[in-house]
Structure 1
Amino acid sequence: MNGYAQNKDDVLKRLRRVEGQVRGIERMVESDKYCIDVLTQVSAATKALESVALSLLADHVSHCVAEAAAEGGPVAVQKIREANEAIARLVRS
């Protein structure tokens, strides 16, 4: 079971909201809105998507990584490595 299983509905709701924001940005560009206004909305959508990513990461660490760490062994090492790599991707973006 995925770490976000208990929050799946919330994650989906937040992703749909981001999708709506992106469609709104597309309409702004189609309507030739002012560059700064478009950039402001891009920033808002980016932050919303980052918030979803952080929520998924927190769920992964508290569920998948914690479970694997309790078991120990190579699976724990793999899950910790995956979490570290995911954090690095988020920090770089």
Structure 2
Amino acid sequence: MSHTHRSKDKLVARIRRLKGQMEAVERALESEQPCGDVLQLLASIRGALSGLTVELMQEHLSEHVVQAETDAERRQAASELAEALRTYMRGE
């Protein structure tokens, strides 16, 4: 069983919190809250999303790279992680 299946409930809860945070940004914009408040909300979302991303990357590294059964599986998992990191870093 994959690590995402084992921690599915926890991951889904984090996603739901992120959705709630995004909805808070929408409400803040709709109610014309000060931009400083909106920026703070966005900073919180970025932190939460980064934390989720790091958690999944760590689990992927542990499960699919470190514990891979074959060199081919290890190379594939490492390649997937490298591509995710490239994409993630472009957003920085």
TM range (shorter): 0.7 to 0.9
Aligned residues: 91
- The alignment's TM-score, normalised by the length of structure 2, stands at 0.87
Aligned residue number for residue 53 of structure 1: 53
Equivalent residues in 2 for 1:28-67, closer than 5 Å? 28-67=28-67
Runs of 4+ in 1 over 3 A off after TM superposition: none
Aligned residue number for residue 71 of structure 1: 70
Unpaired runs of 5+ in structure 2? none
- Return the alpha-carbon distance in structure 1 between the equivalents of residues 81 and 87 of structure 2: 10
- Return the alpha-carbon distance in structure 1 between the equivalents of residues 80 and 70 of structure 2: 16
Task: Determine what percentage of the aligned residue pairs are the same residue.
Answer: 31
Alignment pair present for 1:82 and 2:80? yes
- The SS at the match of 2:61 is helix
RMSD, aligned α-carbons: 1.4
- The alignment's TM-score, normalised by the length of structure 1, stands at 0.86
Unpaired runs of 5+ in structure 1? none
